[in-house]
Structure 1
Amino acid sequence: MAKSEYYTILTKIGIAKFIAARASGNGINLKSFKLSSKVILPSEEMQSLEEIVYEANISSKSVDESNPNYVNLMCHVPSDVGGFEVNAVGIYDEAGDLLAIGNLPRTYKPILKEGSAKELMIKIVMELSNAEEVILKLDPSVIMASRDYVDAIKVELNLKIDALTQKYDAEFKKVWNEFSKYLLESKFNTEIAKYVTLTTDQNIDGIKNFTKLPTSNLQASKDNELVNLATLKKNKLDLKNLELLSLIGFNVYINGTSLFKTHSMSNNVIYTNTTGFKTPLRITTSQFYLSGRGGDGSLNIYINNSLVKKISSIYESGVGDGKGSSYIPSTDYIHILNPNDTYKIVLNDLYANKITPTAQFLNII
């Protein structure tokens, strides 16, 4: 089959690993990608890329919905990374071996300080045909996230909101039914007699039955006062459903209290979720440079002492005195914490400039 101008092929290492994996019944973990500014002609003999400008973990891996023989790999470059040209891509496994190599249409990745910024999403489709042949096809252009993808996410979010709304309504109806049942019990008639206002020579001695429940125009303001329907209707929105509030974008509770709590994080200090509830945790840092020229380092995020995210430094040539420097890109990591889960950050670079990561989670009140 004739190749197009831009294509991706397996290296000899990749071919050997796929054949071995199929023979043993084990899979291959396609973990990361690297981008190069060098114009290349892909070759099976290649073992590494030169002139690397960016590397990161593969953003997502999924089986194509319309063809079960296709595996889609998404390689994302954020908007705050750039100032370089992209001409080639390499796919690596968890052992760090180059399994696939491909050339790309010449694409310049700008950053905002140059007057323009954009995100890049490189999509690679892997077609599994038989035990001895794996063909990698590359879309003919570097693309942004498709409108269909964005619409699918919006539909999924709306479905979650609808489900939570139905759950909220069902729970409120359950509470209201229980309260209505209590109002109809005979013991309520006995208790309400203590609070009936008497006029002239009336008295309320003895047990009384009400053919119609007493009403009041006054709304309850204290816990030990009777509640009328107006009070319930006014206050029912005070029933807090944290998932619903966070999904639909509220930043405060009905009473004005902030929905979120934020605190600074120190290096290698363990923090604990003491809210007593399951809550989303968001850890953020801004981009910062390492003090040592050309040095490397990483920012690691641990949940319950297990590494869940590693942000490695990126080398940037031709800055400062022209000899280059390294920096750790900005971080925005979200994780769902269970009660009493612990979390911490570890900065593996003794020469890094001082930074202050922050942690944000729901304000459970």
Structure 2
Amino acid sequence: MSEKFGMLLTDAGRLKLLRVPLGGTLGISHVVVGDGSGAAVLPAPHMEALVHEVYRTAPAAVDVVDGGEIASGKVWLQVEAVIPVEAGGFWVRELGLLAADGTLVAVGNYPDSYKPTLDSGIGKDMYLKAIIELASADAEKVELVVDPSVVLATREFVGREVDRALAEMTEHIGNKGNPHAVSCTQIGAATQSALDSHKAAKNNPHSVTAEQIGAATWNLLPTEGMEVTDYPDSISSIGTSFPNKVIRIGGLIIQLMFFSYAANGGEIKTALEEFPNAMLNVQITDGGPGVHVWGALPISASQFQIWGKEINRSGYSTGFGTALLIGY
């Protein structure tokens, strides 16, 4: 018949659990191992110590595992520990769990395992896992007492903790309920501060090139389908040359033209071309050295009138300017 291995609560451990007050806990401070004095060990509830203890260490983890659908209603206490590479030179045949006051609360037997030392030429960490079946109420009373100077984490424990942390982080990131209770004032202050700083930057923070500016500006004009008709340039009274053009963009027509005027009375000027439908607006710039015109209005599809002329310097009786005519 094959030998069975397992853990059980000692009488002292069961009594301790019964005496834990409501809301209190029973701390597991150490995992102890022994060699059974060279023989296999049969654990018993009355045991108060191992047959022959050879090493003790702080537990790496204490978990409560629910049986779930496979073993409904059952709960196991799972305790993990590590014997580090530098400890050894002994056999492991028995192990136990100690409360914070040193009471042996659980004991079990272990398959014969030799823990070598480094000077033997072979070194290894030994991972131990003790599993005890408990009532659900008892399992909630057990906790881990950790000595951070000696505890070592098993790979399985680290993996579980990483998975748990990632799950919590994912849940937190997906939480749209403002878990940090950040106020609108705080968001606005941070956003406005960053915006003000960005707006105040004069060092081209986006590294925009002159070529990009030129391309963006030119692209504002729908050059596709644009037609330009050039008329002869005009020469002003002071010898300045002015272009005369008609630009067609789809149904929109823009005329750029030179005009001159006398100092007295209103004048009607004729466009380079009559607009097929209507002249919508006239914008003028005045280039006369002494006689100035203040505005103009379209009066037909082919004509506009300048108005508000005055002489502000003697010796000048004429003026000139350019007009931008818009129509369709």
Larger Rg, first or second structure (1 or 2): 2
Superposition TM-score, scaled by structure 1 size: 0.39
Superposition TM-score, scaled by structure 2 size: 0.42
Structure with greater proportional strand content: 2
